Amino acid sequence: MPDEIGDLTELSYLSASATELSGTLPATIGNLANVQFLELGNNNFNGTLPSEMGGMTSLISVLLYGNRFTGPLPSTIGGWTNVATVDMSKNAFSADSGLPTEIGLWTKCEVLAFHEAGIGSTIPSEIGGMSALKVLDLSLNQLTGELSLDFLLSLFYDCTLCTRFSFFLDCH
């Protein structure tokens, strides 16, 4: 993806899933403060997510699944406070660092999927602050720790007969 992508500051929807794009995401992607939908799944992107992505504060949906992203997730993504869906499944993030605690700021997030994303460490307790969460998929990672019983009960209690909530967790 060229650095010039950051010049498209009025862009609100960036969709390039399954287009065989490769390389790293440029830091200039963080200039896209008006993008609400970022769909770059099923490509060949690699490298770390630029910390500048935290400047993409209008994001509602982030689909980065099926790439080869590595390294730790930047704490700056906590700035995505409007996000409703995040799917970063099937990547190769660092097993030495887990989900940043700042994801607890995603109080509007309904879908959080990091299935087989290569993440490790402990599950941050801040996930308990994600009151809108309906789908949580942390399966096939190297996570440890616990989710509080109160958090799990609140998720199930808020669901109509628990049909709107899916939970996939595989802790070792």
pLDDT, tens digit (0-9, with 9 covering 90-100), for 124-164: 889 888 889 888 888 899 888 777 777 666 666 554 333 33
The tens digit of pLDDT for each residue in 93-135 reads 998 888 999 999 999 999 999 999 999 988 888 988 888 988 8
For residues 35 and 13, give the distance between their C-alpha atoms in angstroms, rounded to a whole number.
5
> Which range, of 28-32, 64-68, 71-75, 157-161, averages the lowest pLDDT?
157-161
Mean pLDDT value of segment 16-21: 97
- In DSSP notation, the chain reads --GGGGG-TT--EEE-TTS--EEPPPGGGGG-TT--EEE--SSEEEEPPPGGGGG-TT-SEEE--SSEEEEPPPGGGGG-TT--EEE--S-EE-TTS-S-GGGGG-TT--EEE-TT---EEEPPGGGGG-TT--EEE--SSEEES---HHHHHHHHHTSSTT-S-EEE----
pLDDT at 95: 84
d(CA 147, CA 167): 12
CATH class of 3-168: alpha beta
What's the pTM? 0.89
Per-residue pLDDT tens over the stretch 32-49: 999 999 999 999 999 999
Whether 167 shows a pLDDT value over 90: the answer reads no
Q: What number of other Cβ atoms are within 10 A of residue 143's Cβ?
A: 22
Average pLDDT of the chain to the nearest whole number: 88
Please report, to the nearest 10 degrees, the dihedral formed by the alpha carbons of residues 11, 113, 89, 44 taken in order.
0
For 50-64, the pLDDT digits (tens) are 999 999 999 999 999
Domain coordinates in residue numbering, the chain:
3-168
Across residues 69-89, what is the average pLDDT? 97
